[in-house]
Amino acid sequence: MKTLVHVEDHAVAQMMMAAIEAYEIKHRSSKRTKARDRIETFGLLWGYVVPTKDTIAAKIIVTHATIETSALRDEDSVTPDFESMQFKKAFMGKYWPNVELVGTFHSHPYGSVQKVKEVKGWQASIADTIFLPEVHEELAREQPHFAHLIVTVAKMSKSGWASPQRLSLASEEKAGYEITADDRKLWLRAYSSYFNYDEPEDDTEVDADGEEYDLEWDDETMDLDADLEVDNFKTPVWLEAHFNQEVELHIPSIERRFA
Ligand SMILES: [Zn+2]
With DSSP H G I counted as helix, E B as strand and the rest as coil, what are the percentages for the chain, rounded to 5?
25, 35, 40
Return the percentage of the chain with pLDDT > 90, whole number: 61
- Give the list of residues 6+ apart from residue 91 with CB closer than 8 angstroms, or none: none
Check residue 109 and give its pLDDT: 92
Interval 149-178 mean pLDDT: 93
Q: Are 123 and 171 within 8 A, CB to CB?
A: no
Max Cα distance, the chain (Å): 80
Q: Report yes or no: 58 and 144 within 8 Å, Cβ to Cβ.
A: yes
16, 36 Cβ separation under 8 angstroms: no
Q: CATH for 3-197+240-258, among 3.60.20.30, 3.40.50.10420, 2.120.10.80, 3.40.140.10?
A: 3.40.140.10
Tell me how far the alpha carbon of residue 82 lies from the centroid of ligand 1, in angstroms: 17
| All structural domains of the chain with their residue ranges | 3-197+240-258, 206-236
Distance between Cα 78 and ligand 1 center (Å)? 8
Enter the DSSP assignment of 228: -
* Interval 229-254: pLDDT, tens: 444 445 555 578 999 999 999 999 99
Instruction: Tell me, in angstroms, the distance from the centre of ligand 1 to residue 185's CA.
Output: 17
Task: Kindly report, residue by residue over 23-36, the tens digit of the pLDDT.
Answer: 887 766 555 556 66
CA distance 51 to 98: 16
pLDDT tens digits, 88-109: 999 999 999 999 999 999 999 9
Which uninterrupted H or E stretch holds 62? Answer: strand 58-67
Answer whether 159's CB lies under 8 Å from 205's CB. no
For ligand 1, the distance from its centroid to the CA atom of residue 20, given in whole angstroms, is 15
Distance 125 CA to ligand 1 centre (A): 5
Comparing CA positions, the residue from 151, 127, 137 lying closest to residue 62 is: 151
Q: Which among 171, 189, 169 has a CA at the least distance from the CA of 179?
A: 189
